[in-house]
Amino acid sequence: MKLQQLLSYTRRAVDEYSMIQEGDHIAVGISGGKDSLTLLYALQGLRRFYPNHFQLSAVTVDLGYEKFSTEPIAKLCAELDVPYTVIKTDIAHILFEERKETNPCSLCAKMRKGALNEAILELGCNKVAYGHHKDDIIETMLLSMIFEGRFHSFSPKTFLDRREITVIRPMMFINEADIIGFARKYELPVSKSRCPIDGFTKRQYAKELLHQINTENPGAKERMFTAILNGNISGWPERNPHPRG
């Protein structure tokens, strides 16, 4: 995927779900993975020509894993002229050494988001952008149906009342395979996850299940995504399918 395609898909999401307003200050949570780095590239590119002017700040919540370096991320942020902040935490130590969690994903996400939200409020941001893509949205729907018995997935845009922060997901129309291609093409400094249970989660199960379904039934992934967009899911904002028409 080329930069022009990335920007086109990103603008589509931003326009259809009114994700960015004039004067917004948007934080991008950078984990070091391909998704968050591609998102940073996308929003920085969009900022150059989008009619609503906005600021960007990049934030990494350092979970405390050994051999995780933020230097490559800092270098990329400097190249893109985006301010970068690193929040040091002991989350990994708490999860795996103090509590010895066997299923830490939910608690890890809660602690990580808590640290991120505190940081972005201190930076004066009113929005935070997550690097979730099309595959993430479909996988979440599958997990919800299999383990919760309901048709649901996370929203393109969510207002967090207690924090007064709006969460946006500008890469919702982009396939994971295209993000992988973009990260390789533009040589983004992607770092491997240091989490000891990475690849052994329910999320990984849903990813493999989606791949199997789409292999056996070509086009099934796109049809599932269309079903989500048209599913009147509770909490989803109203969609404007022709924002520039």
pLDDT digits (tens, 9 = 90+) for 98-107: 777 667 777 8
Identify the pLDDT of residue 209: 96
- The pTM score is 0.90
> Maximum CA pair distance of the chain?
55
124-163 burial by CB neighbour count: b if 16+ within 10 A, else e? ebbbbbbbbbbbbbbbbbbbbeeeeeeebbbbbbbeeeeb
Eight-class DSSP state of 84: E
Give residue-wise pLDDT tens across range 157-195: 999 888 889 999 999 999 999 999 999 999 999 987 666
Give residue-wise pLDDT tens across range 10-58: 999 999 999 999 999 999 999 889 999 999 999 999 999 999 999 999 9
- What is the average per-residue pLDDT within 193-205? 73
Q: Which of 83-87, 145-149, 189-193, 220-224 has the lowest mean pLDDT?
A: 189-193
pLDDT band for 4, please (50, 70, 90 cuts): very high
Q: Which CATH class is domain 3-229?
A: alpha beta
Residues 13, 170 contacting (CB under 8 angstroms): yes
More confident site: 236 or 110: 236
- What is the average per-residue pLDDT within 62-90? 87
pLDDT band for 245, please (50, 70, 90 cuts): very low
Identify the pLDDT of residue 194: 65
